[in-house]
């Protein structure tokens, strides 16, 4: 059983950890709504890029895994497109690898929704770059919804805008993670010290018990020693 002081310390620590973890979920989307402009692309280029992104959104809304390959061939460049996923190791280069990612997303990731009307689109010649925000509702739990950023580069190939680079990113404020790590490390260190002290105290207690038992047995075996 934990003592009352230790229970209080554990409760305070859990509350502090919850507060810090909650700050991670503060997205930047409120600031996004206050953006001064939506890019320097001409109305024609902007609409063309948004039309391609609408097709991208449609694919991620309908989620038909068997359509992943034609989906990628339609929207992505044929010259080694690259997609960066939300995890550090998710780097996919080439249409085949990108199609594998899309198929995996549609099968078991989640429902992605992007705010296309608020997409920032800029362009120079036959290159355009865009950025928008959205969210993903995970298949693992419909209650788990995280904000997303979607950024990328498009190039005009035969007059059609194609995605050359794309990045998914969780729109989370992780600046408090370092403090969380420090607290967890401190908590672990305190528990290791307390465990060491408890083991040491138990060893001393066992040693005293063994010593007392040995002395008692010794006196019973040699009663003359006890009378001296």
Instruction: For residues 32 and 143, state if they share a domain.
Output: yes
Range of the domain at 46: 27-170
Instruction: For residues 59 and 94, state if they share a domain.
Output: yes
Instruction: For residues 180 and 83, state if they share a domain.
Output: no
Q: What is the average per-residue pLDDT within 217-226?
A: 62
For 105-151, what is each residue's pLDDT tens digit?
999 999 999 999 889 999 999 999 999 999 999 998 888 888 899 99
For 186-196, what is each residue's pLDDT tens digit?
877 887 888 88
Strands 127-138 vs 120-124: parallel, antiparallel or unpaired:
antiparallel
Instruction: For residues 133 and 32, state if they share a domain.
Output: yes
Closest CA to 128 of 43, 18, 2: 43
Pairwise pLDDT comparison (137 vs 184), residue with the higher score: 137
Q: What's the confidence (pLDDT) of residue 160?
A: 95
Instruction: For residues 158 and 180, state if they share a domain.
Output: no
pLDDT at residue 206 greater than cutoff 50? yes
pLDDT at residue 227 greater than cutoff 50? no
Q: What is the average per-residue pLDDT within 55-70?
A: 97
Instruction: For residues 56 and 128, state if they share a domain.
Output: yes
Q: Is 59 in contact with 67 (CB distance < 8 Å)?
A: yes
pLDDT band at 92 (very low <50, low <70, confident <90, very high): very high
Instruction: For residues 165 and 206, state if they share a domain.
Output: no
Q: What is the average per-residue pLDDT within 160-186?
A: 81
Instruction: For residues 151 and 198, state if they share a domain.
Output: no
Question: Across the chain, what does the average pLDDT equal?
Answer: 84
Instruction: For residues 193 and 125, state if they share a domain.
Output: no
Task: Classify residue 16: in a domain, yes or no.
Answer: no
CATH code, 87 = 3.10.450.50
Rg (CA), the chain: 31
Instruction: For residues 58 and 119, state if they share a domain.
Output: yes
Task: Classify residue 18: in a domain, yes or no.
Answer: no
Q: How many domains does the chain have?
A: 2
pLDDT at residue 36 greater than cutoff 70? no
How far is CA 130 from its chain centroid? 23
Instruction: For residues 158 and 191, state if they share a domain.
Output: no
Write down the pTM of the prediction.
0.69
Q: What's the confidence (pLDDT) of residue 186?
A: 80
Point out the domain boundary residue: 170, 202, 218: 170
Instruction: For residues 154 and 219, state if they share a domain.
Output: no
For residue 58, what are its two tokens?
């449609």
Task: Please give the full DSSP string across the chain, using - where no structure is assigned.
Answer: ---HHHHHHHHHHHHHHHHHHHHHT--SHHHHTT-S-S-S--HHHHHHHHHHHHHHHHHHHH--GGGHHHHHHHHB-SS--EEE-SSTT-EEESHHHHHHHHHHHHHHTEEEEE-GGG-EEEEETTEEEEEEEEEEEESS-TT-EEEEEEEEEEEEETTEEEEEEEEEEE----TTHHHHHHHHHHHHHHHHHHHHHHHHHHHHHHHHHHHHHHHHHHHHH-HHHHH-
Query: CB atoms < 10 A from the CB of 102, how many?
Result: 25
Task: Classify residue 161: in a domain, yes or no.
Answer: yes
Point out the domain boundary residue: 130, 154, 170: 170
Q: What's the confidence (pLDDT) of residue 95?
A: 97
User: Tokens 């939300």 — which residue?
Assistant: 86
Task: Classify residue 19: in a domain, yes or no.
Answer: no
Q: What's the confidence (pLDDT) of residue 228?
A: 47
Task: Classify residue 221: in a domain, yes or no.
Answer: yes
For 40-53, what is each residue's pLDDT tens digit?
999 999 999 999 99
CA distance 169 to 151: 8
């Amino acid at each position: 059983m934990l003592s009352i002081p230790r229970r209080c310390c554990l409760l305070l620590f859990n509350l502090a950890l919850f507060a810090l973890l909650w700050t991670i979920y503060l997205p930047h989307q409120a600031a996004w709504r206050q953006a001064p402009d939506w890019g320097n692309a001409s109305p024609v280029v902007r609409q063309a890029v948004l039309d391609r992104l609408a097709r991208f959104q449609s694919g991620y809304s309908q989620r038909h895994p068997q359509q992943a390959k034609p989906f990628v061939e339609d929207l992505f460049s044929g010259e080694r497109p690259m997609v960066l996923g939300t995890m550090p190791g998710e780097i996919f280069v080439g249409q085949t690898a990108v199609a594998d990612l899309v198929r995996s997303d549609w099968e078991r990731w989640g429902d992605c929704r992007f705010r296309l009307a608020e997409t920032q689109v800029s362009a120079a010649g036959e290159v355009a770059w865009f950025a928008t925000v959205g969210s993903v509702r995970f298949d693992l739990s419909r209650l788990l919804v995280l904000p997303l950023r979607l950024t990328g580069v498009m190039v005009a190939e035969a007059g059609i805008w194609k995605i050359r680079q794309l990045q998914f990113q969780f729109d989370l404020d992780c600046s408090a993670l370092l403090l969380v790590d420090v607290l967890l490390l401190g908590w672990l260190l305190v528990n290791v010290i307390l465990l060491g002290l408890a083991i040491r105290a138990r060893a001393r207690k066992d040693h005293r018990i063994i010593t007392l038992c040995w002395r008692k047995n010794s006196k019973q075996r040699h009663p003359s020693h006890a009378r001296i």
